[in-house]
Structure 1
Amino acid sequence: MKKRKVELVVLSDIHLGTYGCHATEVLEYLNSIKPKTLVLNGDIVDIWQFRKSYFPPAHQKVLKKIISLSAKGTKVYYLTGNHDELLRKFTDVHLGNFSLLNKLTLNLDGKKAWLFHGDVFDASITHAKWLAKLGGWGYDLMIVLNRCINWGLKKMGKEPYSLSKKIKSSVKGAVKFISNFETICAEIAIENHYDYVICGHIHEPKMETVTTKKGSTLYLNSGDWVENLTALEYHHQRWKIYHHKTDFVRQENIEEEINFDYENQLVEQFMELIRN
């Protein structure tokens, strides 16, 4: 299988370890590309909702694939989010092609890119973490319920339905929060002269130029792999929002087996870390 070469790929909000995670689709995507740089922009492993009884093989394969990419030359940056905040006490660690950081700046063809997860601008995270964690459990339960509903709709020949998108679009508070989040990120990026600001956290893939009296920036959000199944790709000086549901071209032998002892050992060490 010929893999697509991409200069930079940004993934966020995969939420490995939860029932809502589409780990198989993440692995399909990673097996179909050959990125020069891979940025994992937070909430990759959901340590908030981690259960020893639920971390299936497909989820482990995603971690092994990421390690394999790093071992084969891809520069991998893991930026911490709120659901994997446990890792923040280990940040600023560099192991070969793998780096664990809280935020990142990159030079892309002479332009400055600022990458971070985005939870720092979420008041529910900074002031009421217990409420945010409760909401996380509720969201995961809603996703499972939504999958059951969509299974029934598919059997009846009807289009799938998104409960969370319906709630987000109908609840004024949710709409306002998303708008405020995007505005704050863009305004701070403009003040600090960043050409691009790249976030995750709110599960809303987006690419929009924001202009104020002080200048302009391109706001980008990589979305998630729970509902939207999206990523950001930068290649030949152009940005693109990748949608797995429509952009992925299925081929035979798409899954790449990873059996190296090195990857297995590192994944086991990581799993032991979050279990404790």
Structure 2
Amino acid sequence: MSEKGLIYFVSDVHLGAPALTNNRERELLFASWLDEIKTDVAELYLMGDIFDFWYDYKKVAPRGFTRILGRIAALADSGIPVHFFTGNHDLWMFDYLEEELGVKVHRKQIIQTIKGKKFFLAHGDGLDADDKGYIFLKKIFTNKPLQWLFSRLHPNFAFTLAHKWSASSRLSKSDYHDDFMVNQDGMYKFAADFLETNPVDYFVMGHRHRMANEKMNEKTSFILLGDWIRSFSYGVFDGEKFELKKYKDKASA
């Protein structure tokens, strides 16, 4: 990692989401953003749900996303560390990105020291203790025998099934809860509990499709990265401060 460059964070792009009608436009926009940051990026953190659905078969990779995969591979080939956190939509990421693109895949939260600051990094799914339904569901999705059984399905059927599931998600319902209060959120409460025994400078997460940069105390900030559905947002850290930015104010729906 170059000490002179910037650290970029992005989450919840949901490439290929069947519930959305502007997938090509969003993909081109995200590709454009990746092109622009390559001039000053020192390290890139893809914080989960970059793809709306992903499953690694041994001999088959999901169709599409060529522009994005190519740009990520080019960054990694140039020596830029690229980290990919599995989210609740792309948790079935096994070894394809690591072997083909040179990306480091993280399947759970990590503590990372970046430019002298301690970061807690996670997509955020499963950290809200009140979300018992999803916590149970995640145990099913990450069960090895069940993953093996799913891999026995023909990809055409498996992906059709997954896309039907995704199409019924909150992406299609515009269910963003305008009364959202970050310090009442379960992920924030997890961070507050964690902070009692583990000093951290920044908690950086996605998952909520919200932008937030909330001070927890004099030293610690809680960051939600937003998404590339409504906000087209990302985080950038220069070693001194963490900023949330928007690449474009909007893209047509």
TM-score (norm 2): 0.69
Deviation readout 1:70-103 (Å, 9 max, x if unpaired):
111210011111111112x559x68885211123
Q: Aligned pair count?
A: 207
What is the one-letter code of the residue matched to 2:207?
A: H
Displacement of 1:134 in angstroms is 5.0
Do structure 1's residue 98 and structure 2's residue 103 form an aligned pair? yes
Displacement of 1:219 in angstroms is 0.6
TM-score (norm 1): 0.64
Bigger strand fraction:
1
Counterpart CA distance in 1 for 2:231 and 2:168 is 19
Task: Give the unaligned 5+ runs of structure 1.
Answer: 143-162, 248-276
What is the one-letter code of the residue matched to 2:235?
A: L
Contact 2:232 2:249 in 1 (8 A): no
Do structure 1's residue 112 and structure 2's residue 118 form an aligned pair? yes
Task: Give the unaligned 5+ runs of structure 2.
Answer: 141-163
Q: 1:63 to 1:96 in 2, by over 3 A?
A: closer
Deviation readout 1:127-174 (Å, 9 max, x if unpaired):
3569xx9576243334xxxxxxxxxxxxxxxxxxxx444xx025xxx6
Which residue of 211, 222, 225 maps to 1:222? Answer: 225
Identity across matched positions, percent: 24
Match of 2:46 in 1: 40
Match of 1:10 in 2: 9
Q: 1:177 to 1:114 in 2, by over 3 A?
A: closer
Displacement of 1:189 in angstroms is 3.6
Deviation readout 1:39-79 (Å, 9 max, x if unpaired):
11111112279xx9x965xx321121111111112100111
Which residue of 243, 248, 251 maps to 1:245? Answer: 248
SS of 1:62's equivalent in the other structure is helix
Match of 1:65 in 2: 71
1:90-239 equivalences under 5 Å are: 90=95, 98-102=103-107, 103-122=109-128, 123=131, 124-128=133-137, 137-142=168-173, 163-165=174-176, 168-169=177-178, 179-211=185-217, 217-239=220-242
Q: 1:241 to 1:6 in 2, by over 3 A?
A: farther
Bigger helix fraction:
1
Q: What is the Cα-based RMSD across aligned positions, in Å? A: 3.4
SS of 2:171's equivalent in the other structure is helix
Contact 1:16 1:55 in 2 (8 A): no
Higher radius of gyration, 1 or 2: 1
Deviation readout 1:106-144 (Å, 9 max, x if unpaired):
2123221110111022423213569xx9576243334xx
Runs of 4+ in 1 over 6 A off after TM superposition: none
Displacement of 1:210 in angstroms is 0.8
